[in-house]
Chain A
């Protein structure tokens, strides 16, 4: 009788699994602590949080924190502002990004393209804090550049920091100013991928440059535009805190148009210390955001499989 030896299983040391684990460990731990633990901590939104008892020890209150939020006037205002401003950024932003990418593509001298791109990227390198200073230099009610100029022209100066109605436009302008240089790169790269023969053929057929842009350039970046827009819609429920907080200088009079979900959570947490309410709003934002991303991704997948996030 011969007994077959039990086949030795390849040890996890031999096939490198342990080494892979070692490499993945720091990222794994950090993500666990700073992303997954807070996800579990999100149950705080259903509790009456007390500092001394901690999240786990505090009493459950069901949806009370949410009720409190949704019954306030703030719920509608911050949701509307977040969605509205982001929608504005997506629409106007895309027009500018695509527009400038198309224009850059029409320029043939290399040094010009390079110079323009460098300059347009400048605003990307500064923080919203500095942009806040710039906006202030223009809009300071008494000595700001805009009001001084208005006065010279004999027009009544405007006290910018107490008139909410101007801010959607101001913020959109700032958004374009800061992001166009960076965002146009994707569209420009897509344009660079077009086969030059198409343009040559069109030229031989006598198509003008405008027609070439309309019938060749734009159609070839169409799917990029659609995909990026849909992906942006997936993130529409998150506002850029830095922008809304710094440019408006957190002035209360501007809240009717500039208070967004992110600034609201921050304020109710740190200024008002209302943990219940702010965590409820935060979970509301995360939850809706999650659904939006899943939905938009499904749509993207139908349009163009390889552009989907997952």
Chain B
């Protein structure tokens, strides 16, 4: 039986969380509403609800989608390569760390762990990547430097360590080599952990703009998020992008719906992932709770 004070508390707790949930959602609703509103009615102020429904902004974005499509392509490539290569390499390293038979296990662990404590900083990395390696303005600058994250390696190691050692011994006695054991036993057994890491890597890759800011000036190599932040900084770019290609001649004399177009672009960029990721919520939750991460 609930007492009266418990009932009050129940209502109160739910109310507070619901209010916070609304605060979480309102900005998303606002982006969508602005993008679906008529430009002229926005001039008096943004609102949470749609004002004079209009698809002009989206028409505008998709009328000349070369820039956006190209950014989609680049983002897809770095997300795919970054996730696949990253997860495979990190799982391989994590396997070595979790095996007692691996002779260099401890020094290797320290080797990886030390990078979490100390870094050379942004300037030496910048000079290395742009000058020494000449990776500036190549897609590799967006993939290679961030491919290995010691944090995920330790997370995977914790998971591998949970796989019964007797299984390893049994396969070993049967004459299997380490590569076979890794690919045929450990990988199939750790799909959930691999999925968790893959999703977390995917999310950061999809949201990548920082390395573009540092290493890329070529418009053909810009990611979605970077394109977006560029437009935010420089309103006129909306018009430049729109006018490229010349197919929008008819629009040249019309006032460009820049405010709504900006928000429409934000929706186009953020939308797909927002629809996909919540379905994988449990993997993110698991990633946070997979256990102590130790060096």
Contact = CB atoms under 8 A, between A and B. Distances in A.
A61 B77 CA distance: 43
Interface string B18-62: 101101110110110010000000111111100000000000000
B30 A134 contact: yes
A44 B124 contact: yes
B156 to A, nearest CB: 11
Given A27-B153, A133-B266, A148-B46, A125 B23 contact: no
A20 B281 contact: no
A229 to B, nearest CB: 16
B48 to A, nearest CB: 7
Interface stretch (B189-197, B240-248, B269-277): B269-277
A143 B124 contact: no
Interface string B200-218: 0001000101100110000
B123 A278 contact: yes
Interface in A25-75: 26-28, 30-31, 33-42, 44-45, 49, 51, 54-55
Contacts of A241: 210
B210 to A, nearest CB: 7
Contact of B120 (A38, A116, A118): A38
Contacts of A278: 122-123
A306 B9 contact: no
B281 A38 contact: no
B24 A38 contact: no
Contact of A269 (B102, B123, B226, B263): B123
Contacts of B123: 41, 44-45, 265, 269, 275, 278-279, 282
B162 interface: no
Among B96, B101, B120, B150, the one with the most A-chain Cβ atoms within 10 Å of its Cβ is B120
A241 B48 CA distance: 29
A119 B277 CA distance: 12
A286 B178 contact: no
A289 B120 CA distance: 12
A38 B124 contact: yes
B254 interface: no
A127 to B, nearest CB: 4
B193 to A, nearest CB: 16
Interface string A90-132: 0000000000100110110000100011111111111101111
Contacts of A144: 45-46
A270 interface: yes
Nearest to B44: A143
A306 B291 CA distance: 11
Interface string B224-242: 0110110011000000000
How big is the A interface, by class? 35 or more
A39 B120 contact: yes
A281 to B, nearest CB: 8
Contacts of B253: none
B111 interface: yes
A148 B45 contact: yes
A209 B119 contact: no
Interface stretch (A81-89, A161-169, A178-186, A252-260): A178-186
Contact of B144 (A17, A30, A180, A310): A30
A177 interface: yes
Interface string A246-282: 1001100000000000100110011000010011001
Given A31-B112, A106-B9, A24 B93 contact: yes
A118 B108 contact: no
A242 to B, nearest CB: 7
A143 B17 contact: no
Nearest to B274: A125
A21 B104 contact: yes
A303 to B, nearest CB: 14
Given A103-B13, A148-B47, A42 B232 contact: no
Contact of B24 (A17, A35, A120): A120
Given A143-B259, A269-B126, A278-B122, A20 B46 contact: no
Given A27-B112, A185-B288, A15 B147 contact: no
B30 A294 contact: no
Contacts of B27: 131, 134, 137-138
Interface of B: 3, 5-6, 9-10, 13-14, 16-18, 20-21, 23-25, 27-28, 30-31, 34, 42-48, 89-90, 92-93, 95-96, 99, 101-104, 108, 111-113, 115-129, 131-133, 144-145, 147-148, 150, 153, 177-179, 182, 203, 207, 209-210, 213-214, 225-226, 228-229, 232-233, 259, 262-263, 266, 269-270, 273-274, 277-278, 281, 284-285, 288-289, 292-295
Given A17-B104, A103-B13, A126-B273, 5 more contacts: A39-B119, A112-B14, A143-B44, A265-B122, A279-B124
Interface of A: 15-17, 19-24, 26-28, 30-31, 33-42, 44-45, 49, 51, 54-55, 100, 103-104, 106-107, 112, 116-127, 129-134, 136-138, 140, 143-145, 147-148, 177, 180-182, 185-186, 189, 208-210, 241-242, 246, 249-250, 262, 265-266, 269-270, 275, 278-279, 282-283, 285-286, 289-290, 293-294, 306-310
8 cross-chain pairs, A with B, having the tightest CB-CB distances, nearest first? A282-B121, A41-B124, A38-B120, A148-B45, A127-B207, A27-B93, A19-B178, A134-B27
